[in-house]
Structure 1
C-alpha cells in the first residue's frame, strides 16, 4: 500500500505540470480566453460611438414622431372645432327658420279659428236649442274660466261627441282619425235617422277646430276667448243632440 501511494505521489507532479502547461502555456486555454475577452471588450468599445449615434437618431425620430402627432392632434382638434361651430350656426339658422314657420302656421291657424268660429255660429243659429238649454249656456257663460279650464272642458265635450258618433256608426265602421268622414257616412239618406248635411258639416268643422286648439295649446292665453269657447261648446251640444 505504501508503495502504491508513493507511486501516485511521484506521478502526480508531472500531471500537474502538464495541466499547468496546457492552461497557462503560450497556446493555453487561459491565454485564448483572455485574448477572446479582450477582443470582445475592444470591439464593444469601438462600437460605443456607433451605438450612441444610433440611440441619438432613435431619440430624434421619436421626438419628431411625437411632435408630428401633437401637430396632427391639434389640427384635427381645430378642424373638429370648426365643424362644431358650423353645426351650431346651421342649428341656429334651422331653429330660427322653424320658429318663423311655426309663427306663420300659428297665424294661419288663428285665421282658420276665426273662420271656423263664424261657420259654427252660423250652424248653431240655424236651429236654436230649446229655452232650457239656452238658459244653461247663459249661466255657463257667466262663470269666468281660465284658458286651462276651457281647454279641459272642451276635451271632455269633444270626447262625448266622439263616443256618440262611434255609438251611431258601430265600432267596426268607426275611425277616430276621420271624424268628418264618419259624420258624412251618417248623413247617407239610406240610413235610419240620417244626419242633415248641416249637422255633418258642423261635426267636420268642430273636428278641424278642435285639432287647431290642441296644436296651439302653448299660446292659448293669446287666442282662447270665452266667445270661442262658448261657440265650440254650443256646437258640440248641437252635434250631440243630432247624434242622439
Structure 2
C-alpha cells in the first residue's frame, strides 16, 4: 500500500521590531506548530522558548556584515525542509516584505511548487518611531511618509531622498553620514531628525538632533545597528508625546 507523501509548508512570519509581545497571534500559533525554524539574528530570542522541544532550530541571520547562511542557501534550506514534508517557520524581524527579503524567498518557493503562507509583522519602520514618541504623520504637519534603505549598495548607488514630509531610513548606521549628505541636498541643515537604536528593546537609545549635528551626535554616542533614522518636523513632537514604557 502506497502512502501519500506528506506535504510540507513554509510560513514566512514577521515577528515585529524587538519586543517579543509584538508578534501577532497567528504568527505565534504557527511558530508553536513548526517542526523546523529558520530565524534571523534580529528576532526577539525569547520567542524561541515558544518553539516545540522537538523542533529543529536553524540560525540564518546576518550580524555586522557576517552571514550565518547566504540567501541562496536559505532559499534551498526552506525548499529542502518543505520537500521533506515539514512545517517550516521562517522568522523575520519586523515585517517579511519590508526590507526583509521575504519577496525573494516566496518567489523562489512558489516557483518550485511549495505551499507558502505569509504572516505580516509589525514593521520597525512604524513601530520603532511610535514607541519613541514620534508619529510619522500628523495633521497639518506631515501627510506623506517615505521609507528607504540608508545603506550604500555594492554598486555604490546614491542613497535615495524621496519627496515626502517624513523620511524613515533603515539599515542606516554605517552610512549615516552619506545619508545625511544626500538629504541636505533637499532639506535645510536645521531639519529635525532622530536616530533610534535597538528600538522596542530594553537597550533602546534615542538621539534627537538636526541634520546639522546628528552625525556627530551618533558618532559620539557610538550608536550601533539596528537603528532607524527619522527625518522631518514630526520629530519635534517627541518632547510632548514620549512616555517611558513600563
> Shorter-chain TM-score category?
under 0.3
- Tell me which protein shows more helix as a share of its residues: 1
1 or 2, which has the higher strand percentage?
2
Largest Rg, 1 or 2: 1
